[in-house]
Chain A
Amino acid sequence: MYHEFSMAARQTNPNFMNGVPELLILRLLKQKEMYGYEIVQAIRSRTGAVIEVGEGVVYPVLHGLERDGALTSRRRTVNGRSRIYYSVTPVGSHRLADLSEAWTHLANAIKKTLTGRQHGKAIQ
């Protein structure tokens, strides 16, 4: 039964996702510390559910960022449940700035290509 359901799971094309989870996670955690489930819900809410991944996939990204020193984690008990909360370190803030800049450039370039502005100017 599990396989039937997992086959039907909706996912964003992974080819377009390179670096996106890191960017979104760092951006969200820059505002406040969160645990995994909160992060995924926040991503879904902020992106209007445009970005869909298996929710569990967020943890390897979180662990990787923590290992790189971009995030730090601490265990907190909230409403009787122990959870691991993540927050951004100064290294993570630098990484967020770099990623944001790179993605802004890329997004602008793609937008120009799609709207054909440069091409239009060249013809004129």
Chain B
Amino acid sequence: MEKLFNELRERLLRAGVAPRHVRRYLAELADHLDDLRAEEERAGRSRGVAESAALIRLGGMDDLSKAMIGQRQFQSWCVRAPWAVFGLAPLLLLAGAYFVACLILWFGWKFLLPGTDTPFVRVNGFAIFYFGVGRWLYFGAPILIGWGIGLIAARQRFKAFWPTVGLVLIALMGGTAQVHAGRTAVPGGVRYISMGFNFGSSAQGISNGLLHALVILSLAVPPYLIWRSQKAHSLSA
């Protein structure tokens, strides 16, 4: 019985049915099967015969999977619009994280370092913690988003193409991101923080950007590979 449900789960997920719908479907099928088996046992059948009869009544694998796959409304967004889930959404999320990190930097500079011309100075006390949060967000966001891509792809049993696209885009965006902070060129000028995405013109800048992108990739990809291998292992077992 467990094998039947595992096979059905895999079939549905690979066909693009959203994991939450699959979970609920299988839970209700399991309850239904219990009821059917109990009914057959009440009719005087042995446990083994009752279970076989219950499985027949529940329906064949093809019928059970087709009934769910046939309803387009249960398809996951990963399947309907993979470019949005693995391409656009991660980039927007990362842009949002960078925006918040820049806000943290700007407010910290304004209120904790009012006399300095740049926020990139040695800090003490509470400022260490405060700027640490912003720094963690700046450096951690691409990796967390990469893990998110991997998790979504693994849950949906997605083929590697779109998750790879998403991970590479995130790594490139993270690797090329550069924050600039300064004051306008007048005495006591207005503080500004800007952000750009480029490798720079120098060879050093390009190699630094690529190295940063590779570091992000090397940290973001392993969980996806582990989840994939775990799923493959659980299927073959």
Where the two chains meet, the residues of A that have a C-beta atom closer than 8 Å to any C-beta of B are: 1-3, 5-9, 11, 35-37, 40, 53-57, 59-61, 63-64, 67, 81, 83-84
Residues of B within 8 A of A37 (CB): 31-32, 35-36
Q: How far is the CB of B14 from chain A (nearest CB, A)?
A: 17
Q: Is the CB of B63 within 8 A of A54?
A: yes
Whether A59 contacts B73 by the Cβ 8 Å rule is no
Minimum CB–CB distance from B22 to chain A (whole Å) comes to 11
Residues of B within 8 A of A11 (CB): 63
Known contacts A6-B61, A37-B35, A67-B73; decide if A59 and B55 are in contact (CB<8 Å): no
Known: A60-B70, A84-B28. Contact between A55 and B58, CB under 8 A?
Answer: yes
Q: Which residue of B lies closest to A21 (CB)?
A: B67
Pairwise interchain contact B60-A64, C-beta atoms closer than 8 A? no
A interface, by DSSP: helix, strand, loop or mixed? helix
Sorting the interface of chain B by its residue count into under 10, 10 to 19, 20 to 34 or 35 or more gives 20 to 34
How many angstroms between the C-alpha atoms of A62 and B25 in the bound complex?
10
**What secondary structure prevails in chain B residues at the interface with A?**
helix
Q: CB-CB < 8 A to A61: which residues of B?
A: 67
B74 at the interface (CB under 8 A from A): yes
Q: Is the CB of B35 within 8 A of A57?
A: no
Given contacts A5-B52, A6-B59, A9-B57, contact A57 B64 (CB under 8 A): yes
- A112 CB to closest chain B CB (Å) equals 32
Q: With a CB–CB cut-off of 8 A, which chain A residues contact B63?
A: 11, 53-54, 56-57
B55 adjacent to A54 (CB under 8 Å):
no
Instruction: Answer whether residue B71 sits at the interface, using C-beta atoms and an 8 A cutoff.
Output: yes
Q: What number of residue pairs across chains A and B have CB atoms under 8 A from each other?
A: 83
Once bound together, how far apart are the Cα atoms of A83 and B60, in whole Å? 23
Q: Once the chains are docked, how many angstroms separate the CA of A63 from the CA of B29? A: 13
Contact A55 B55 (CB under 8 A): no
Q: Tell me the complex Cα distance, A33–B219, Å.
A: 51
State whether A2 and B55 are in contact (beta carbons under 8 Å apart), knowing that A36-B32, A55-B32 are contacts in the complex: yes
Question: Which chain B residues (15-43) contact chain A, with CB distance < 8 Å?
Answer: 21, 24-25, 28-29, 31-32, 35-36
In the complex, which residues of chain B have a beta carbon less than 8 angstroms from the beta carbon of A40?
A: 32
Contact check, B25 vs A55: say whether CB atoms are below 8 A apart: no
- Give complex CA distance A67, B68 in Å: 13
For the complex, is B235 an interface residue (Cβ under 8 Å from A)? Answer: no
Tell whether B128 is near chain A: CB-to-CB under 8 Å. no
Question: How near does chain A come to B81, taking the closest CB pair, in angstroms?
Answer: 18
- Residue from A1, A36, A54, A84 within 8 A of B60 (CB atoms): A54
- Indicate if B186 sits at the interface (CB-CB under 8 A): no
- Minimum distance in angstroms from A17 CB to a CB of chain B: 11
Contact present for B71 and A36 (CB under 8 Å): no
Q: Which of B32-88 contact A (CB under 8 A)?
A: 32, 35-36, 52-53, 55-61, 63-64, 67-68, 70-71, 73-74
> How far is A8 from B60 in the complex, measured between Cα atoms in Å?
10
Does B4 sit within 8 A of A, measured CB to CB?
A: yes
Residues of B within 8 Å of A53, CB to CB, are: 59, 63
Chosen A-B contacts, 8 in total, with CB atoms closer than 8 Å, are A2-B4, A2-B52, A5-B53, A37-B31, A53-B63, A57-B64, A59-B32, A60-B70
